[in-house]
Structure 1
Amino acid sequence: MDASLNLILSFNVIAPLFFLMIIGYVLVHGTKLADKELCSKANALVFKVFLPCMLFKNIYQSDIKTQMKGELCLFAAGSLLVLFLLLCFIVPRVVKQENQQGVVIQGIFRSNYVIFGVAVVESMYGSENTVTAAILSAILVPMYNLLAVIALSVFGEKREHDWKKVIGNIVKNPLILASVLGILFSCAGIRLPQAVETTVSDLAKLATPIAFLILGGDFDFSKVKGNLKTAGWVIFVKMIALPAVMIPIIISMGYRNAELLSALLAYQTPVAVSSYIMAQQAGADEQLAGQLVVFSSAASVVTLFVTIFLLRQLGYLL
């Protein structure tokens, strides 16, 4: 695959998300078909119904017990936990605005793996080679959501020191519940009736388009300027510095091709769109959270292209 095809691949994966955001912005700001109140209600629907269905479906359909890459999964989970702890120590000392601290923490560690992971691997290697990406999704997505709840509860404008409430927020989080159910169903071999499985699948298909329409509708250009400095260094750390550290480690572990791509996408995909929804639900700075999703998605067109091109040139992605 030459450089031009790599560029086309990155564009075709990410561009539709931009188009959805543009449509959402036009619907809210240029027509009378939608408004901020509708976006707020739709946000809750996406967070409590559509995204959980998508997470459950992705994990439920993977065979975790027989196809798990133990060493790679342990590394991915361990490195994520270490990164989170480092961010919890560093970010509050650098970011002074309290309602932005949790947003910045989750903006750096939390990737949009549930949408980009399997999609990018499938685009390059076909659906038969997406098993590793699906299993990593089953491990990382629950961790992303668990750690995000902690970050937004402890490092928010309304700091929560009552750990019973923090644990309650974790237990009640729809994304975590859906991930746990997906893991249980997959490991136990429980199959849903065909009619139920089809319904869950149909609801899951609504998650991405509606979430990005809402993100575009809620985007406020008047607040971008004040967040440019913070957003800029968050995107640099997430999309450039972190992958530059992690990718050589993954290569040194002996992973290549689809497995290598599945692992590196955990560190170089855009900020999860659900991070914006969770920030809004938690009363944090949802404008900054939304801008991190938009800016990291834009940056990923370049960073993913450069990464894939270089790794192909070096013979690690064939």
Structure 2
Amino acid sequence: MSLAFSVLPLIFVIAAGYGLGKSGLIPRENWGGIEALSFRALIPAMLVLAIAQTDLSVARYGGFAVVLLGVLACLGGLALVVWRLTGMSRASAGSVFQLSVRWNAFVALAAADVFLADGIAVLAIAIALLIPTINVACIVVLAALGPAQAGPGQIARTVSRNPLVIACAIGLALNLSGVTLPESVASALDMIARGALAVGLMAIGAGISLRRLATLDARVGVSVLLRPVIGPVLFAGLGTLWGLPAMQLFAGVLVFAAPAASNGYIIAKQMGADAELYADVMTWQVVLSMLCLPIWAALLL
């Protein structure tokens, strides 16, 4: 029950964005600026701070890291296979790829706090490992699938100029150099970063259409299953075969059972993917995750 309540605020913030968008209190033409603010300032601040302050000594978590990256690669590959088999548009394929690999660390951390004594420390390893990997992979795929169908050179330039990739590089450089951010700088980044989740979720809500949400087409069905269902099953199976301890096994399941991250919607809008599909699927994933996470806890703990 406590886990369900930890997820409910996400739903409420999405609903608030929906209400602001539909009521016209924030005009439709203003949402583009709000999305750009999140993409270019709020989310990068969150990434710099999170990566710079995470303990990257992963000697104890080698197997955990290998299985995380293996399942991530499987999900991304499945998303691209679905694109080829179903003939969906390139814009839809970009969003389905993001929906399969991005994860809402806030939901996973809330679940870890409920179920695992040291779960937050383990998830910090996952955050440091996956945030740069996922962001680079998503930018590459979205650039390749985008309207311009960019070549390798254009993809490399797009990746190198992307605010999220730059933020990950700055965070890693700070972490590996041993430089500690001054308290005033860290506090300022924290103040900026705290707006990232709420702004992203409200932007999702503003982009939701209840009429589309009620239509469960194949794209929505596949995207919903990839993240909260297929991903956790893959991690639980591979993690068990690898012999991961129970805490790492459940922490990895949390990574893939959590819904997709809200920042994927902003990135889809910025890079020409199907942002409306992303918004609709992520809302379904939030609901399904709220149902699935307690079941996984009962099975693995």
TM-score by length of 2: 0.92
Identity %: 23
Equivalent in the alignment of 1:264:
253
Q: 1:10 aligns with which of 3, 11, 14?
A: 3
Q: Is the 8 A contact 1:10 1:301 kept in 2?
A: yes
Point out 4+ residue stretches in structure 1 off by more than 4 angstroms.
none
Alignment of 1:25 with 2:18, yes or no, is yes
Equivalent in the alignment of 1:314:
none
Alignment of 1:120 with 2:111, yes or no, is yes
What is the CA-CA distance between 1:89 and the residue it aligns to? 3.8
| The 10-residue stretch of structure 1 (73-82 or 140-149) with the greater mean CA deviation from structure 2 | 73-82
Q: Is the 8 A contact 1:21 1:216 kept in 2?
A: yes
Q: Is the 8 A contact 1:121 1:258 kept in 2?
A: no
Given the superposition, is the C-alpha separation of residues 68 and 41 from structure 1 closer, same or farther in structure 2, using an over 3 Å criterion?
farther
Alignment of 1:63 with 2:52, yes or no, is no
Given the superposition, is the C-alpha separation of residues 87 and 212 from structure 1 closer, same or farther in structure 2, using an over 3 Å criterion?
closer
Equivalent in the alignment of 2:204:
215
Whole-angstrom CA distance in 2 between matches of 1:75 and 1:267: 12
Matches within 5 A, 1:227-246: 228-246=217-235
Equivalent in the alignment of 2:84:
92
CA RMSD of aligned residues (A): 2.0
What is the CA-CA distance between 1:233 and the residue it aligns to? 2.3
Whole-angstrom CA distance in 1 between matches of 2:58 and 2:253: 22
Q: 1:149 aligns with which of 118, 139, 142?
A: 139
For residue 300 of structure 1, what is the amino acid of its counterpart?
S
Whole-angstrom CA distance in 2 between matches of 1:86 and 1:16: 31
Equivalent in the alignment of 1:5:
none
For residue 241 of structure 2, what is the amino acid of its counterpart?
S
Equivalent in the alignment of 2:36:
44
Alignment of 1:191 with 2:183, yes or no, is no
For residue 77 of structure 1, what is the amino acid of its counterpart?
L
Given the superposition, is the C-alpha separation of residues 196 and 36 from structure 1 closer, same or farther in structure 2, using an over 3 Å criterion?
same
Alignment of 1:248 with 2:240, yes or no, is no
| The 10-residue stretch of structure 1 (88-97 or 299-308) with the greater mean CA deviation from structure 2 | 88-97
Q: 1:204 aligns with which of 193, 197, 208?
A: 193
Given the superposition, is the C-alpha separation of residues 168 and 184 from structure 1 closer, same or farther in structure 2, using an over 3 Å criterion?
same
For residue 273 of structure 2, what is the amino acid of its counterpart?
A
Unaligned segments of structure 1, at least 5 residues: 1-7, 312-316
Whole-angstrom CA distance in 1 between matches of 2:16 and 2:124: 30
Given the superposition, is the C-alpha separation of residues 123 and 55 from structure 1 closer, same or farther in structure 2, using an over 3 Å criterion?
farther
Whole-angstrom CA distance in 2 between matches of 1:171 and 1:203: 23
Given the superposition, is the C-alpha separation of residues 129 and 245 from structure 1 closer, same or farther in structure 2, using an over 3 Å criterion?
closer
SS at match of 1:192: coil
Alignment of 1:176 with 2:169, yes or no, is no
What is the CA-CA distance between 1:96 and the residue it aligns to? 2.5
Whole-angstrom CA distance in 1 between matches of 2:97 and 2:176: 31
Whole-angstrom CA distance in 1 between matches of 2:175 and 2:119: 18
Q: Is the 8 A contact 2:119 2:251 kept in 1?
A: no
Q: How many equivalent residue pairs? A: 301
1:209-230 C-alpha deviation (Å, 9 max, x unpaired) = 1111121122122333556332
What is the CA-CA distance between 1:159 and the residue it aligns to? 4.8
For residue 67 of structure 2, what is the amino acid of its counterpart?
F
Given the superposition, is the C-alpha separation of residues 20 and 36 from structure 1 closer, same or farther in structure 2, using an over 3 Å criterion?
same
Whole-angstrom CA distance in 2 between matches of 1:105 and 1:159: 18
Unaligned segments of structure 2, at least 5 residues: none
What is the CA-CA distance between 1:123 and the residue it aligns to? 2.8
